[in-house]
Amino acid sequence: MNSAAPLPETAAPRAVARAAPLRTRLRARGLDGVTLLALPAVLFVLALFVYPFLYGLYLSFAPAKGGALANYARFFSQPFLYDTIATTLLLAVPVTIVNVAAAVPVALRVRLMRHQRLLTTVLVIPITLGTVLVAEGLLTYLGPRGWVNRLLLDFGLSDRPIRLLHNYWGVFLSLVISGFPFTFLLVLSYVTGIDPSLENAAAILGARARARFARILLPLLVPGLAITLALSFVQAFSVFPSAVLVGAPAGATRVIAIAAYQAAFEQYDYSMASAIAMLMAAVQLLIVVALLMLRGLVYRGPAATGKG
């Protein structure tokens, strides 16, 4: 527009827009009085998440002695430290897979049940108990004189008590028990999001149960399962109490959280502890990003069609 002549048609609306009060313009962008209600939450997140994270990040690059990267260099030079990543992965990955693999068929069945709420409540109780109580329970239940071993001995399935505590399996079982309800609830919400008429349509078109699962239910569940795997993994990867209580914290279940704990509260090296925590976050992030990228490759739309 290089015309010198005045253009009242276009100038007028611009003048109106300029004249609109700030309040109206803010509201058009979704900012009004109600937005202020989010302020406490924002402050909360800043104070309890963003600030500690950034401070920890800074701390990890400020070791007591050596250069900025001294902590990270030390971590990756000592098997005692860097092995904890493998140890933790070796626990968290199988636990996550077992939980999701068990949750899918249970959720598919529960979806069809009439007393769904009762069963869901029962399955969810372990969440409310907390890791420590579950670990305490396992100590008596799985111990050499616990029910499991007594049954095995009484029925002659084993001639001596099998060791299920203070080793890998103790932590594994404890993580499965405390992680399953969470995984199950997530999977159930994804499963119930699939329109049941899709399965009926497939059945009428001649698909048997196995084909219906493989061709309809599973493809529609995969995006949800990727999210479930990511969240369950993160939960299992940060294992700490059960690794100490029912595991072998000096050996097979010396997980990365224990390394961080020891650096912080046994050696009082907060800088090193921060570095370990940052590495822990990095590994989790890596796996979560990988899962979400895989999720991007499949269909992610709604699990129902038609106009509602």
Residue 224 in contact with residue 190, Cβ under 8 Å?
Answer: yes
C-beta closer to other proteins: residue 27 or 111: 111
Q: Minimum distance between the CB of residue 226 and other proteins, rounded to whole angstroms?
A: 14
Q: What is the 3-state secondary structure (H, E, C) of 192-251?
A: HCCCHHHHHHHHHCCCCHHHHHHHHHHHHHHHHHHHHHHHHHHHHHCCCHHHHHCCCCCC
Residue 301 Cβ, how far from other proteins at the closest point, in Å?
5
d(CA 4, CA 93) in angstroms, rounded, equals 70
What's the min distance (Å) between Cβ of 117 and other proteins?
A: 19
Closest residue by Cα to residue 122 from 173, 170, 192, 180: 180
Looking at the Cβ atoms of 77 and 197, the one nearer to other proteins is: 197
- Nearest 5°: the CA angle 166, 167, 172 is 110
Closest to other proteins by CB, 286 vs 304, is 304
CA torsion 16-19-21-25 (nearest 10°) is 50
First to last CA, the chain: 47
* Nearest CB to other proteins, comparing residues 40 and 306: 306
Choice between 52 and 219, CB closer to other proteins: 219
Distance CA 275, CA 245 (A): 25
In DSSP notation, 246-300 reads: TS-TTTTT--HHHHHHHHHHTS--HHHHHHHHHHHHHHHHHHHHHHHHHHHTS--
- C-beta of 103: minimal distance to other proteins in Å? 21
Spatial neighbors of 38 by CB under 8 A, at least 6 apart, are none
Q: How far is the CB of 193 from other proteins (least distance, A)?
A: 11
Q: How many C-beta atoms surround the C-beta of residue 302 within 10 A?
A: 10
Shortest distance (Å) from residue 207 CB to other proteins: 5
* Binding residues for other proteins (CB under 8 A): 195, 197-198, 200-208, 211, 215-216, 219-220, 298-299, 301-308
**Minimum Å distance from CB 231 to other proteins?**
23
CB nearer to other proteins: pick between 221 and 255: 221
Which residue, 48 or 304, has its beta carbon nearer to other proteins?
304
